[in-house]
Structure 1
Amino acid sequence: MLRNYLKIAIRNLLQQKAFSVINSIGLTLGLTCCFLILLFVSHELSYDKFHEKADRIYRVTYNPKFAGVPTALVTLPTPAGPLIASSFPEVEQTARLFRRSASIEAKDGVAGRPDKYEEERFFFGDPAIFTIFTFSFLQGNPATALRDKFSVVITDKVAEKYFGSGNVLGKMLSLDGQYPMTVTGVIKALPDNSHVHIDLLANYETMFATISEDARQNLPQNWVISHSLTYVLLKPGQSAATVNARFPEFLLTHANERFAKDIVYALQPLTDIHLRSNLANEVEPTGRMDYVYIFIGVALITLLIACINFINLATARSLKRAREVGMRKVLGAAQTQLIGQFLGESLLLCLIAFGLSLVLISLLLPVLNHLTGKELTMAYLFGNRQLLLGFLGIALLTGVLAGSYPAFFVARFLPIQTLKGNFTSGKAKGGMLRQTLMVVQFTASVALIIGTIITYRQLRYVQEQPLGFNKDYVITIPFKSNNLNNIFDNPTDSLFTKLRSLKDVLRSNPQVEEVALSSGPLGLGGTRRGIVPEGFTRNDNLFATSLATDYDFIKAYGLQLVAGRAFSRAYGTDQAEAFIINESAVKQFKWGSPAQAIGKQLELEGKNGKVVGVVKDFHMESLQQPIEGLVMDINASMLSILSVKIRNQNIPQTLAFIEKQWDGFFPQKVFEYEFLDKDLARLYERDQRLGNIVAYFAVLAMFISCLGLYGLVVLVTQQRVREVGIRKVLGASVTSIVALFSLDFLKLILIAILIASPIAWYAMNGWLNGFAYRVAIDWWILVAAGLLVALIALLTVSIQSVRAALANPVKSLRTE
């Protein structure tokens, strides 16, 4: 019997080629979209689970609540890690990681290859890192690899880059041109689904040897500055809640009494870091759990639309088989047999769609990787048996759910009525259900289109919003490790002599407008440091974002002064005691107006001086954050970035000139640069990807919805062929008949728009609340999305309704 059902199913699919193709396309697209999103979601949820002890590994988070401004950080002060290990019996081991950029040179590299690179994934780490995390050692011993100072472990990719193939143990690498390091291990690079990726890992004590004496003295005692990622491995059976409860006592015992009461430590599960960690100073960009929920929702909506499309098309096709069903019932076929046959056809179609979807996934994976920034492959899918079986289960479940209604709909046909040509199914014709399903389809489509428009407007807004400074054609060049160690560095006079000379040489090029030094580029955030403004005391524990600059910085970035003056070499005391603040700092310090702030006393972590200028507020961070108080000073020890404002002509030649001069002044430091506007655009990369994905799936959802609408129009026109023939005989025009069909469907689409608009408004308003500066959700967006969907639907309806209106009425009245 199963063989007979299969033969009938294949025969019917071949006989109804148009319906079969449309159904296959709809299901294939729906399953492909669903599978692609679930593939991405599966990868997001798998982060850090490859570590053997992942369930016992935690990262310690740092939440200083100084001055009532809580700031959740992922890095701890340097002394915290070792003391946690010795103070908590629940803790098995702790390890610290500190990331910095580094110029690395191979002393005995491969001939003919570059031997010097700027490494962005260079870390200092405690030896216990290899006990806590799961690393695959290809060369060396994990127990001793980081035992000695100036030892370094590298990945296989780095080993090949510098030394080629073969044994590299004992070979030498130079750090920043002055610190020789010995390669003591080679590890396999961490997989893509790791929250941190390490290319080179040096012994943690090496860090202290590479910084100034002041830093070596300060860091081991400083309990305020956030510095190192600190990981904890709990003993089996121990609870993170127990450790969290004892952290206040731990801080009161070890931290500075002035700050201990305003510090909160907490253990964060390793597997929560990627999706549930919206904290500052993350070592790499993280995902968001709410985005995962959005993607899952989009996947389910797309699949739901495909199922509705299948139901409508299958129901429309079933009317052509009503006489077959009636005849089979007369000949004794049971209702369960008919249901089984039609469900079998549905499952067969879904299996075909499943196979086609796997082909499409392989073709579309590069597109998905581009949209999400991932490196997913088909090997990841086929290597994950549970995921692949889950996809097959979804396909089969889709076939059952989507095919159930048409199967029961057909099986309920009354044989006498169907043989007479009355294609009904007893008491109900299912019209209300089909209309409801179509409303659901277009509600989802309208909501996705509204979301796409709002996302596009917001991202365009943040990209075009005036930031308060020049960002176009500004390149930034790091000349030191851009990290918090710079706070304590005492650079040599020769360094800044070279930098001043370099600035003069660069300015000699007519394509260079201005050159300046700072502790960081604008717009990408800054370091919060302790301040004591006039009218406050140290016990107030006030903190503000600080920015070290040189005398040319304000001019180079086009900052606007609203009171006072800029830093000037004409004032010999500016380097020692001058500060410039922004308008928000004036408000934070309760100094009245910008003019009243001029001359006010200010202390910045031991540096005393007065305010000489106030600049107009500008965005020091992304537009997701409000503008806060900012303090700028001349502080040579913190300068680490060279900013060059160039003209928008002959850019390649200008960059080549800058690189040539750089190599002449700093041969030990790899020349690397970034355009500031591109760096700023990366702040919204995650949201941009969300918008792109929603836009793609909105188009696909609309396309699949139109397939379903087409099926419903076919169904209606089949039921009303005789009516159309009579109307034409009585003189009805083609336009009036098209309008007759269109009006019915436009009413349903209007209902969908009315339902989708408040849902989309609520969802997008919640997303926009994540931005301190956002667009409004104007009424015209909802109207425009509705009109777009209505227009597309009207065109879809017109295609079939025009065909029905142009049919020969004599033929339809004779045959129907």
Structure 2
Amino acid sequence: MQPPLPPRWLDKLATRICAPHLREELLGDLHERYALRYHRTGARKANFFFLREVVALLRPPIMSREPSPYGSPSAFSCDMLRNYFKIGSRVLLKNSGYSLIHLTGLSIGLWACMMVATVVIDSLSYDRQWSRKDDIYRIVTVNKMGEGLFERNSSSVMGLAPELQKNYTAVESWSNISSGEKYFKIHPEDNDGINTSLLTADTSIRKILDIKLLAGSLKHSTQKHWSLLVTQSYAARLFPGQDPIGKIIYDVPIFSPEPTPYEITGLIDDLPYNSHLRADAIRLEVTKPEPLVTTGIMSFGRNYILLKRGTDVGEFTKKVNAWYADFTKNKGREQFEFQPLKDIYLHSDFAEGQSVKASIRTIYIFAGVALLLLFIACVNFVNLSTAKAFARVKEAGVRKVLSGSRTQLVLQLLTETLLLFGISIGIAVFAYFSTLRPVENFLGHRLVLTFTSNILMAGGRIADVPPHRIAHGPLPRLDYLGLQTGQYLTRHIHSIVGANGAPQNARRRTIFHFNHRIARYHRSLAAIRPDEKQRPRLR
């Protein structure tokens, strides 16, 4: 008959208090006295006296540890870290199929997530580099077509912007800006030209956008030629190694028989590519405010206004619409909205003439796909780690028998995880760099903010992934470091039969496989780590 044992928590407390060289003798005496009191006075008094004796052990002579005659190397020493990586690499090479599946899933998941995240981040960066980006708005015309039916247009009456500046002090400046493409050639007799992204604006554009003049002038030429501001990179394509100021270039005529001459009057710094106003050159026009009329022929264009800092756009919009309804007597059939510059690229589905634009719905879908890919990669990592973890229970038991500490086991598992991650991120980065140009060709435009061009962006992404791998990778494996036989079998009972049981036909189909697992796991686990209650007490 097995002698009665004291409460488990008291027994563990006494084990922690006693020094290792006194533990066997003192705990043996405590257990003998507990068994004697248990039979004489009952469990309650036996537990009480056992608690008193455990508290009495709190004395320096009993608690002080003797120095070990054997040196214990630190788990973080250079030799131990070298061994961790050596053993980890051997484990990965030994389980080559498992490692290949791991690396393939992680690499594809990271590469796809990085690529989709690049498209999303680049799209969200449009028109956010201008110094007055929060104060620049585009006037959008809203026509009421019926009850609850409205039509939006990115163009507005040409005379509206100067009239707003005249009537409202909140408007600092305005400019009419349109975009398009033209082919320019150096000599009028040339047949082919260079495709050029062209902005057409009046001279007040310099008050709205950050245009850095490198040479020449921003003023319109007094000659009969069109004035052209060219960017530094475009000038290098036209006149490599030459000063472009004052040179004449010609467009490729579409409707007229003769080419139109353009004089380069200014050299400016390259405009941001991640902007809906990206351009290689700017054609300047003389600012000619048109009068705002209600009848007759009216011209329309894309009007941009610059408001003073801190202006309430909502209140300003109400005032403008009320004033315009009173001015035109149209009873609100035609109103205006002021679209922020930062929203134009992603919120211009109605702007048919705008060539540089995207849909915010597409960005939401891409962002969801990126998160889904990262989630699938993490789940795949966890599933593979869990499937392999239970196959290494024997290895963990042998390490414990050979005095391997829990910290060393955890560090070994973390090393294997970091090795997998390091190789996967290397493959993913190589694939990302190799496929970036084809993705840009597929999208039809260049990506400005990428992991290869932005060091902070790349560093943040790489630093963000290891916590996911550390959190999701070793945790399934850590279960078997302190696994009990009963817990292990309970998990597999639930995984095979179900936590609440399964239908009778399902149990019949799995009964043989279930019994085989019970017999196999009970033999291996009981031999490696017996249950605590089955361990003999040493006197």
TM-score interval for Structure 1 and Structure 2 normalised by the shorter chain: 0.5 to 0.7
CA contact (8 A) 2:203 2:286 kept: no
The one of 425, 434, 443 aligned to 2:488: 425
- Correspondence 1:279-290 to 2 at 5 A: 279-290=350-361
Per the alignment, residue 242 of structure 2 pairs with 166
CA contact (8 A) 2:185 2:250 kept: yes
In 2, the alpha carbon distance for the partners of 1:133 and 1:432 equals 64
Shift of 1:34: 0.6
Q: Which amino acid aligns with 2:88?
A: A
Secondary structure in 2 aligned to 1:376?
coil
The one of 187, 190, 194 aligned to 2:275: 194
Shift of 1:236: 2.3
The one of 358, 378, 381 aligned to 2:451: 381
Q: Which amino acid aligns with 2:171?
A: V
Per the alignment, residue 313 of structure 2 pairs with 240
Provide the identity percentage.
26
In 2, the alpha carbon distance for the partners of 1:187 and 1:238 equals 31
CA contact (8 A) 1:75 1:226 kept: no
Query: 1:25-45, CA deviations, whole angstroms, 9 ceiling, x for partnerless residues?
Result: 111111111111101111111
Per the alignment, residue 129 of structure 1 pairs with 205
CA contact (8 A) 1:145 1:185 kept: no
CA contact (8 A) 1:127 1:146 kept: no
Shift of 1:217: 8.9
Secondary structure in 2 aligned to 1:84?
helix
CA contact (8 A) 1:325 1:413 kept: no
Shift of 1:158: 4.5
Tell me the number of residue pairs that the alignment of Structure 1 and Structure 2 aligns: 420
Q: Which amino acid aligns with 1:204?
A: E
The one of 57, 61, 67 aligned to 2:140: 61
Secondary structure in 2 aligned to 1:286?
coil
CA contact (8 A) 1:145 1:153 kept: no
In 2, the alpha carbon distance for the partners of 1:386 and 1:41 equals 16
In structure 2, the CA distance between the partners of 1:178 and 1:316, relative to structure 1 (3 Å rule), is closer
In structure 2, the CA distance between the partners of 1:98 and 1:367, relative to structure 1 (3 Å rule), is closer
The one of 98, 107, 122 aligned to 1:19: 98
Query: 1:483-514, CA deviations, whole angstroms, 9 ceiling, x for partnerless residues?
Result: xxxxxxxxxxxxxxxxxxxxxxxxxxxxxxxx
In structure 2, the CA distance between the partners of 1:309 and 1:79, relative to structure 1 (3 Å rule), is same
Query: 1:141-200, CA deviations, whole angstroms, 9 ceiling, x for partnerless residues?
Result: 34x357988322233455455555411222234565375443211234433311123333
In 1, the alpha carbon distance for the partners of 2:194 and 2:473 equals 59
In structure 2, the CA distance between the partners of 1:279 and 1:13, relative to structure 1 (3 Å rule), is same
CA contact (8 A) 1:173 1:181 kept: yes
Does residue 358 of structure 1 match 2:437?
A: no
CA contact (8 A) 2:211 2:271 kept: yes
In structure 2, the CA distance between the partners of 1:375 and 1:105, relative to structure 1 (3 Å rule), is closer
- Correspondence 1:385-404 to 2 at 5 A: 385-404=455-474
Per the alignment, residue 94 of structure 1 pairs with 174
In 2, the alpha carbon distance for the partners of 1:309 and 1:189 equals 45
CA contact (8 A) 1:78 1:222 kept: no
Per the alignment, residue 42 of structure 1 pairs with 121
The one of 285, 308, 312 aligned to 1:204: 285
Per the alignment, residue 51 of structure 1 pairs with 130
The one of 412, 430, 433 aligned to 1:341: 412
In 2, the alpha carbon distance for the partners of 1:102 and 1:275 equals 25
In 2, the alpha carbon distance for the partners of 1:360 and 1:343 equals 25
In 2, the alpha carbon distance for the partners of 1:407 and 1:229 equals 61
Does residue 270 of structure 1 match 2:341?
A: yes
In structure 2, the CA distance between the partners of 1:428 and 1:332, relative to structure 1 (3 Å rule), is farther
The one of 117, 123, 141 aligned to 2:217: 141
Worse-matched range after superposition: 326-335 or 244-253:
326-335
In 2, the alpha carbon distance for the partners of 1:235 and 1:186 equals 29
Per the alignment, residue 5 of structure 1 pairs with 84
Query: 1:1-59, CA deviations, whole angstroms, 9 ceiling, x for partnerless residues?
Result: 13143343233223222212221111111111111110111111111112222222222
Secondary structure in 2 aligned to 1:184?
strand
In 2, the alpha carbon distance for the partners of 1:332 and 1:103 equals 78
In 1, the alpha carbon distance for the partners of 2:161 and 2:291 equals 16
CA contact (8 A) 1:174 1:181 kept: yes
Query: 1:734-757, CA deviations, whole angstroms, 9 ceiling, x for partnerless residues?
Result: xxxxxxxxxxxxxxxxxxxxxxxx
CA contact (8 A) 1:77 1:224 kept: no
Gapped runs of 5+ residues in structure 1?
209-215, 437-716, 727-816
CA contact (8 A) 1:56 1:233 kept: yes
Shift of 1:80: 1.4
In structure 2, the CA distance between the partners of 1:295 and 1:60, relative to structure 1 (3 Å rule), is same
Query: 1:224-275, CA deviations, whole angstroms, 9 ceiling, x for partnerless residues?
Result: 9672211122222323223222211342465x33x46222212211111111
CA contact (8 A) 1:346 1:402 kept: no
In 2, the alpha carbon distance for the partners of 1:16 and 1:266 equals 63
- Correspondence 1:484-633 to 2 at 5 A: none
Shift of 1:388: 0.8
- Correspondence 1:653-672 to 2 at 5 A: none
In 1, the alpha carbon distance for the partners of 2:398 and 2:222 equals 85
In 2, the alpha carbon distance for the partners of 1:160 and 1:227 equals 35
In structure 2, the CA distance between the partners of 1:178 and 1:59, relative to structure 1 (3 Å rule), is same
- The two structures, once aligned, show a CA RMSD in angstroms of 3.8
In structure 2, the CA distance between the partners of 1:174 and 1:10, relative to structure 1 (3 Å rule), is closer
CA contact (8 A) 2:184 2:196 kept: no
CA contact (8 A) 1:351 1:395 kept: no
In 2, the alpha carbon distance for the partners of 1:187 and 1:358 equals 35
Q: Which amino acid aligns with 1:323?
A: K
In structure 2, the CA distance between the partners of 1:251 and 1:393, relative to structure 1 (3 Å rule), is same
Shift of 1:309: 1.9
Query: 1:126-146, CA deviations, whole angstroms, 9 ceiling, x for partnerless residues?
Result: 21212211234343234x357
In structure 2, the CA distance between the partners of 1:320 and 1:371, relative to structure 1 (3 Å rule), is same
In 1, the alpha carbon distance for the partners of 2:347 and 2:196 equals 25
Q: Which amino acid aligns with 1:43?
A: D
Gapped runs of 5+ residues in structure 2?
1-74, 500-509, 520-539
Secondary structure in 1 aligned to 2:127?
coil
Does residue 78 of structure 1 match 2:78?
A: no
- TM-score, normalised to structure 1, is 0.46
Instruction: Return the index of the structure with the highest Cα Rg.
Output: 2
